[in-house]
Structure 1
Amino acid sequence: MKSRWFTPLLIALTLASIAVHFWSTNEPLRFTLASISLLLWAALLGKATESVAHYAGERLGGFLNATFGNAAELIIAIFLVQKGLFDMVKASITGSIIGNLLLVLGLSIFAGGLKFKTQSFNTLLAGHNASLMLLAVIALFSPAAFDTQLDPSEMETFSLIIAGLLIASYLLWLIFSMITHKKELGEEPAVEVPTSDISQTSVAHEEKPEWTKNRSILLLFIAAVFVAIQSEWIVGSVEAVAHTLGWSELFVGAFLIAIIGNAAEHSAAIFLAMRNRIGAAVEIAVGSSLQIALFVAPALVFISLLFGKTMNLTFTAIEIAAIAIAAFIATSISRDGSTNWFEGVLLLIVYAILGTGFYLV
């Protein structure tokens, strides 16, 4: 980062967070320092992602950011699974999916739209993303639909089969999008912008990254590790803070933990969208949601076997409705491969509506 104050501040806050975590019992202070430190590490992760995307391409750069960002959420979820907090795990999965589709994507489209009148990305990729989101909704809806007809052991078997199929479909999607149809799903350089913005667009695409390829990858890895560590510390404190404030477990899992866990995606996607790289921003937001639904959630089902009790994929009606609503509005807005600031506002309004509902439950 070019700012002289950033690195010293990052180091100071990280050390302070470590000291408070190990030598203090003040949960609100632990939570506050870990959250601020996490945001700075997320900013570094976003910068590293942009640099990697310059060398590896928009899609691979976005995929790497989504993967490293979701690593924190996977670690958080594993700790929750180990404790048997399956309801909170499912709530956090729900929050991660709708958070990426509505909050991250909405803020990215809004921020980019304020600077550039219209931003475009690959329409073929948008169509495939829409189909995959529909698959995720169907897969998460099916266990709830059969819940009354199956006993617990049959539901566990059904969940394991669905989990295996989802992981297989995600791996096949990676082969399809990264190998066999990489060219067709690549970035579309054509962007509709007013004449006054042409110079800005040119600068955004011609600007050279601050770091070399190897340094970018190294910083991406280091930032992801610290994001994961800080996220795990926050989970340990957030429950105490939430109970103090009187928030429900559903709201904590679906919104508070999800927002914190998505900090890396927030910063990176918005940063890229404001540089007129909406393709990478969409890949981060939508790609992260798909990775959570098609890989992380199913993987947790298999991981739960290691702790002696299988987590099923039976989500509540509220959670399924929230995921379906988020997938529907995100698909409706992004399917044409073109975005503007007003569409970002629509996504944020839907997120506020769902957030209010979860808070009041």
Structure 2
Amino acid sequence: MPESSKNDLLVLSIYDVIDALKIREVGGLLNATFGNATELIISMHALKSGMLRVVQQSLLGSILSNMLLVLGCALLGGGIVHCKKEQVFNKSSAAMNSGLLLMAVMGLLFPAVLHFTHTEMHFGKSELVLSRFSSCVMLVAYGAYIIFQLTNQKNLYSPISEEGTQTEGEGGSADNEEPDISKWESIMWLFILTSLISILSEYLVNAIEGASVAMNIPISFISVILLPIVGNAAEHAGAIMFAMKDKLDISLGVAIGSSTQIAMFGIPFSVVVGWIMGRPMDLNFQLFETATLVMTVLVVAFMLQEGTSNYFKGLMLLLCYLIVAAGFFVHIDPESVRKSLNIHLSSNLQYPGVVYLCASTQL
């Protein structure tokens, strides 16, 4: 069986398992966590190898992919299947995730502004110190969000009816169906399937690296666009599936929740791990990348503020993603960043992939 077919099979199996859990918001949280496992594993490996820009761009690409591509496909698919009505979702949940994403934007924006305005008190150090402090604050905020989500899900995250009122989630026949497997069996299968997907994704990443040289594709396009599409295959399939079942709250929990987890946990966690490893990983994602994230968060926040969904909103998000993809296809790192990569190149010679990727950034 081809690797892509195996990957698709594992993705569908994960969401069959998640659907068996019958817990809307916790299910969305598990979707995001296990779906992001691939990106986090790749990021830790790249961080250990000193590929800081690959870590930054792949995590950024995961956020952009989830917010524009995954959510856009989910809204488009759900809108087409349920074209005779306007799908609704919980505005409170969407607003809270939007707020967390804006907080993440703040955390990434300040180090970038500090760097490009040349207003650092200690050049080269203040930016890194600010990034590490902000990362710790963001991790605390995300931990508090998880606690709040789990302890208040009955009130805040109850499903929304078409009239805009909250329901208890126990009256529908679909929610009363008996799961085929138990909760603990579901969690066990999640661990197994996620591990297999991560292994398959590693082979795909190696193929993408070769394509960057053979096809003369910028490494920024690979890291921000192609790599997250592979890593977000699970979220993509699950979000569309649940949207077509008119379970839009779970779709939002998958797409927006995954973006929130990467922004508020994945990126700060990488900074802290880099701190422990002695790697100068910071929150300065450079001006172009930071501006792209700011615009993406604002666009999605405006799309979700009404608490309703239709296929046109999904189409708009997909078109926005095409613009982002085109932007990164013609984007290369600034000269100062490439010089910085060359300076650290000699210290990373024990990792052949580092030399290869650093050289590719200058395409």
State the TM-score, normalized to the length of structure 2: 0.83
What is the 5 A alignment of 1:190-201?
A: 190-191=161-162
Alignment match, 2:126: 154
Instruction: Give structure 1 stretches of 5+ with no counterpart.
Output: 1-12, 14-32, 194-200
2:139 alignment counterpart:
167
Of the three residues 42, 60, 72, the one matched with 1:94 is 60
* 1:245 aligned partner, one-letter code: M
Quote the residue 2:156 is aligned against: 185
**Using the alignment, how far apart are the partners of 2:217 and 2:173 within structure 1?**
46
* Map 1:1-361 → 2, pairs under 5 A: 13=1, 33-52=2-21, 54=22, 57-116=23-82, 117-147=85-115, 148-150=118-120, 151-179=123-151, 181-191=152-162, 204-361=174-331
Q: Deviations over 1:202-229 (max 9, x none)?
A: 6654554443333322222211111122
Select between 273-282 and 147-156 the one with higher mean Cα deviation. Answer: 147-156
Deviations 1:134-165 (A, max 9, x none): 11111111110111222222222111101101
In 1, the alpha carbon distance for the partners of 2:246 and 2:177 equals: 12
Report the AA paired with residue 181 of structure 2.
Answer: W
In the aligned structure 2, how far is the partner of 1:308 from the partner of 1:234? 29
In the aligned structure 2, how far is the partner of 1:215 from the partner of 1:191? 34
Q: Structure 1, residues 213-272: CA drift from partner, whole Å, max 9, x if none?
A: 333222222111111222223222321122211110100000011111111111111111
What's the counterpart of residue 8 of structure 1?
none
For residues 36 and 312 of structure 1, the distance between their equivalents in structure 2, rounded to whole angstroms, comes to: 37
Distance (Å, rounded) in 2 between the aligned partners of 1:271 and 1:97: 20
The one-character-per-residue Cα deviations of 1:284-342 (angstroms, maximum 9, x if unpaired) are 10000010010010000111134332201111211112111211111111122211111
Matched-pair contact (CA < 8 Å) for 1:270–1:281: yes
| Percent of residue pairs bearing the same amino acid type | 32
Q: Is the 8 A contact 1:251 1:359 kept in 2?
A: yes
Q: Is the 8 A contact 1:112 1:270 kept in 2?
A: yes
Assess, with a 3 A threshold, how the Cα gap between structure 1 residues 327 and 168 changes in structure 2: closer, same or farther.
same
Structure 1 pair 204/109, CA: closer, same or farther in 2 (3 Å)? Answer: farther
Residue 28 of structure 1 is matched in structure 2 by: none
Kept after mapping to 2: 8 A contact 1:49/1:268: no
Q: Letter of the 1:44 partner, please give it.
A: S
Contact 1:118–1:192 at 8 Å: present in 2 too? Answer: no
- List structure 1 runs of 4+ shifted beyond 3 angstroms: 33-36, 201-212
| Residue in structure 2 matched with residue 3 of structure 1 by the alignment | none
- Conserved in 2, the CA contact under 8 Å of 1:120 and 1:339? yes
| Change in 2 beyond 3 A, CA 1:242/1:208 | farther
Contact 2:101 2:264 in 1 (8 A): no
Deviates more, 1:261-270 or 1:216-225: 216-225
Give how far 1:36 is off.
3.8
Farther-moved stretch of structure 1 (232-241 vs 326-335): 232-241
Letter in 2 for 1:155: E
Where does the alignment leave 5 or more consecutive residues of structure 2 unmatched? 165-170, 332-363
Aligned CA distance change for structure 1 residues 93 and 156 (closer, same or farther; 3 Å): same
Q: 1:40 to 1:315 in 2, by over 3 A?
A: same
Judge conservation of contact 1:130–1:335 (CA < 8 Å) in 2.
no
Deviation sequence 1:174-193 (CA, Å, 0-9, x none): 112211x3222223241369
Cα 1:280–1:357 change in 2 (3 A) is: same
* Secondary structure of 1:149 counterpart: coil
Letter in 2 for 1:290: T
The SS at the match of 2:155 is: coil
Q: Distance in 2 between matches of 1:238 and 1:210?
A: 38
- Deviation of 1:360 (Å): 2.1
1:20 counterpart residue number: none
Give the count of matched residue pairs. 319
Bigger mean CA deviation after superposition, 234-243 or 81-90: 234-243
Quick one: which amino acid aligns to residue 137 of structure 1? Answer: V
Tell me, in whole angstroms, the C-alpha distance in 1 between the residues paired with 2:4 and 2:221: 18
CA RMSD of aligned residues (A): 1.9
1:31-69: CA deviations, max 9, x gaps?
A: xx44443232112112212222x1xx2100000010011
Q: Higher mean Cα deviation, 334-343 or 145-154?
A: 145-154
TM-score scaled by length of structure 1? 0.84
Deviates more, 1:346-355 or 1:231-240: 231-240
SS in 1 for 2:285: coil
